[in-house]
Amino acid sequence: MNQLVSLQLKNVSRSFGEVDVLRRISLEISRGEFVAVVGPSGCGKTTLLNLLSGYDRPTSGTIESSGRRRMIYQQDGLFPWLTVNENIGLGLRQLHGEREREGAVTDLLRLIRLEGFERHYPHQLSGGMRQRVELARALAGESDILLMDEPFSALDYLTRMQMRRELARILAERPRTVVLVTHDIEEAAQLADRVVVLSERPAQIRDQLRIAAPRPRNLTDDEVVQAIHRILTVLGIEHEPERATEMERTL
């Protein structure tokens, strides 16, 4: 596999018994690229991430990856019996030396702007703060690939918007290859270099869109609005303007 490629799927299919979930997915994700995967609920997005993380194996096809992979789960994945410090410390277990680890945790706390909360337990934090701790834990110890499964879907709208900014900022400081699964199309358009749109189950890649604008992007930036429109069009929810005018003409 090419040095510049982080993850590579060739003709990957996955079925559970009779149920075909993923069908012949081919995808190449470059080092440092931010790919968002959108698709209808139940189409197989989590299944795809489980394959990418190595937790699950494809029924057919091959997957290659280079680098340490870390997953942020759809469910709350912080250990509630550990403090913020200890949770982040989990990501640093391979680091030797108390000093080194403490230094790394302090840096990560500053990165996620949670200084002063190191001794708090997850249940004492807000949803957005918990997600930032998950992010810090996944970034710790020089991971290379972040796999995120709808990390912000449990947050309220405003917090979600803030978390997008935070994620863009954090990634600017600690670049990673990212695969973000979401059904929030705005989120995909605002964050990703490339958006992969999956079809209903059995999921196939329906379309891929590149968004070249640099991050951080405003939700109302022209590129973002256009991207949202394009994704919605691929999903068959919005129509091309020409067709709209056509419809008006026929009326």
Partner 1 sequence: MKWKAIVLPIVVAAALLAVWAGVWATGAFHESAFPSPLAVARGFGEEMRSGRLLNDSITSLFRVVCGFLLAVGVGVPGGLWLGQVLAARLAFLPIINFFRNLSPLAWMPFAILWFGVGDAASIFLIFLSVFFPIVLSTMAAVANIPAVYFRVAEDYGLHGRERLTQVTLPAIMPQVITTLRVTAGLAWLVVVAAEMIAGRDGLGFAVMDSRNGLRTDLLVTAMIAIGLIGIVIDRVLVQLTKIPSVRWGYDR
Ligand X SMILES: Nc1ncnc2c1ncn2[C@@H]1O[C@H](COP(=O)(O)OP(=O)(O)OP(=O)(O)O)[C@@H](O)[C@H]1O
Q: Which of 96, 202, 90 is nearest to 137 (CA)?
A: 90
Over the window 77 to 116, marking each residue x when it contacts partner 1 by CB under 8 A and - when it does not, the resulting string is x-xxxx-------xx-xx----------------------
Query: At closest approach, how far in Å is the CB of 73 from partner 1?
Result: 5
Q: CB–CB of 48/71 below 8 Å?
A: no
> Please, what is the end-to-end C-alpha distance for the chain in angstroms?
55
- For ligand X, the binding residues (CB under 6 A) are 16, 19, 21, 41-47, 74, 183, 201
Query: Is the Cβ of residue 114 or residue 192 nearer to Mg ion in the bound state?
Result: 192
Query: At closest approach, how far in Å is the CB of 16 from ligand X?
Result: 3
Residue 55, CA atoms < 13 Å, CB-side half-sphere? 11
How big is the site for partner 1, counted in residues (CB under 8 A)? 20
Distance of CA 166 to the CA centre of its chain: 13
Q: Which of 25, 16, 23, 17 is nearest to 63 (CA)?
A: 25
Q: Which does 44 bind (CB under 5 to 8 A by kind): Mg ion, partner 1, ligand X, none?
A: ligand X
| Residue numbers 126-155 binding partner 1 by CB under 8 A | 137
Stretch that binds Mg ion, among 5-13, 23-31, 45-53, 96-104 (CB under 5 A): 45-53
Q: CB–CB of 215/176 below 8 Å?
A: no
Is 46 among the residues that bind Mg ion (CB under 5 A)? yes
